[in-house]
Structure 1
Amino acid sequence: MLGNMGKPDPLSLSHADRIREAVRANFELGTEIVIMVSEVECQSPGCPPLETVVAFWTDEGRHRFKVFKPMSEFDDGDLPWKWLRRSLTVPEDYVDDCC
């Protein structure tokens, strides 16, 4: 997570790297595939204070999923099954105004 001054927190970066590598292995993604991992504060009623958002891009398009817990609590059991990869594709005109 980035602080107010835009300086990355080393602990958050290590969690992001761990998640990124788990996603890469789970979906059998090559090293050329960009995987973005971020921790965001949820402002919607009923959702947890912090959630982890994962996005990656393949020839199929952008894929995305959320885990409703902070990066520090993310474990391999939170990963979607490999065969769900295509269902994680986000339509180009999709607007996310919720969870």
Structure 2
Amino acid sequence: MFNKKKPNLETIQNIKNYFIKKYEIPESTILSIAELNCHEPDCPPTETVITSRSIDGTTKNWKIHKPIEEISEKDVKDLENNNH
């Protein structure tokens, strides 16, 4: 039940770096990454949600319909700026 493999820390850091590069995210902003599984109809089986929390309290979310381990720099580059 709880023996899900944890994502590689290097992979997570790479994804954060892709976002920092694309969106020019400052060091003071916290980026968090969560992989979610959905069991609802018409829902992707796994999606990754990336959240930025700025020092001023604003947040932005992006969703990529893939597990963390499958996300590439291209996936981040292909996100639209209004996908948050």
TM-score above 0.5: yes
Q: CA deviation at 1:48?
A: 2.6
RMSD: 2.5
Which residue in the other structure is 1:52 paired with?
48
Which residue in the other structure is 1:74 paired with?
71
- Give the TM-score normalised by the residue count of structure 2: 0.75
Gaps of 5+ in 2: none
Change (3 A) 1:10 1:74: closer
- Cα pair 1:47 1:68 within 8 Å, conserved: no
Which secondary structure does the structure 1 equivalent of 2:52 belong to? Answer: strand
Q: CA deviation at 1:62?
A: 0.6
% identical aligned pairs? 24
State the 4+ residue runs in structure 1 displaced beyond 6 angstroms: none
1:15-62 alpha-carbon deviations (Å, 9 max, x no partner) = 211111111111011222100011111122122321111000234711
Give aligned pairs, total.
80
Which protein has greater RCO, CA pairs closer than 8 Å, 6+ apart? 2
Which residue in the other structure is 2:62 paired with?
65
- Give the TM-score normalised by the residue count of structure 1: 0.66
Which secondary structure does the structure 2 equivalent of 1:65 belong to? Answer: strand
